[in-house]
A and B are shown apart, each in its own frame.
Chain A
Amino acid sequence: DAGITQSPRHKVTETGTPVTLRCHQTENHRYMYWYRQDPGHGLRLIHYSYGVKDTDKGEVSDGYSVSRSKTEDFLLTLESATSSQTSVYFCAISESSIYGYTFGSGTRLTVV
């Protein structure tokens, strides 16, 4: 969607390797979120950010870390990828909770 891009769109990686996914926004929104989407589980929150260098854990944060050094960029790192982290990862941004989210197009990650 306009204003938010995720990269890469697809990635295949090997078990045990580190992986970094990038989310970039041009909307200057305060809040940024990383979710993973798995069949039958909807979307589950991994980490979120409420400002530069301000981040917190979501419900499925184990094995993941994040960084936000600039308003526009929110990075998600899988420190040592496992097969259970094969998923579609979505970044979302929000100006305020009252407006809801704008989502990126997602990154399909396969860990082999």
Chain B
Amino acid sequence: AQSVTQLGSHVSVSEGALVLLRCNYSSSVPPYLFWYVQYPNQGLQLLLKYTSAATLVKGINGFEAEFKKSETSFHLTKPSAHMSDAAEYFCAVSDHTNAGKSTFGDGTTLTVKP
């Protein structure tokens, strides 16, 4: 069984401030972990992924995430928020032994204030 918990359904930051979106996971096997971004009225787009190589992974648009096994976490960060980062973000865990089905968190809406 696998699950994802995203802490905070809404996060608001000022432009230029640090972005931190939290994700904790549960998985019975070594997980593959993903962050996706969804802009209004669009599908989800893959931001970055962890697949058991480097624990610090870099993605598109300046985002990165660190896999911490001891904390079962995979938090998403960006040093300096931009207005265009306003979107909904989803963390997902995949059980790669089972057709790659992904379980998604409930999402975090990021608001960026000017």
Contact = CB atoms under 8 A, between A and B. Distances in A.
Interface of A: 1, 31, 33, 35, 40-45, 48, 50, 56, 58, 90, 92, 94, 96-106
A43 B58 CA distance: 24
Contacts of B42: 105-106
B46 A42 contact: no
A67 B90 CA distance: 28
Given A33-B101, A58-B101, A100-B49, A43 B90 contact: yes
Interface in B86-113: 90, 92, 94-96, 99-107
Q: Which one of A98, A101, A104 has the greatest number of beta carbons of chain B within 10 Å?
A: A101
Interface of B: 9, 32, 34, 36, 41-46, 49, 51, 90, 92, 94-96, 99-107
B36 to A, nearest CB: 8
B53 to A, nearest CB: 10
Contact of A100 (B34, B43, B103): B34
A98 B99 contact: no
A40 B88 CA distance: 12
A32 to B, nearest CB: 10
Nearest to A97: B100
Contacts of B96: 97-98
A35 B49 CA distance: 20
A1 B98 CA distance: 25
Nearest to B106: A42
Contact of B46 (A90, A102, A104): A102
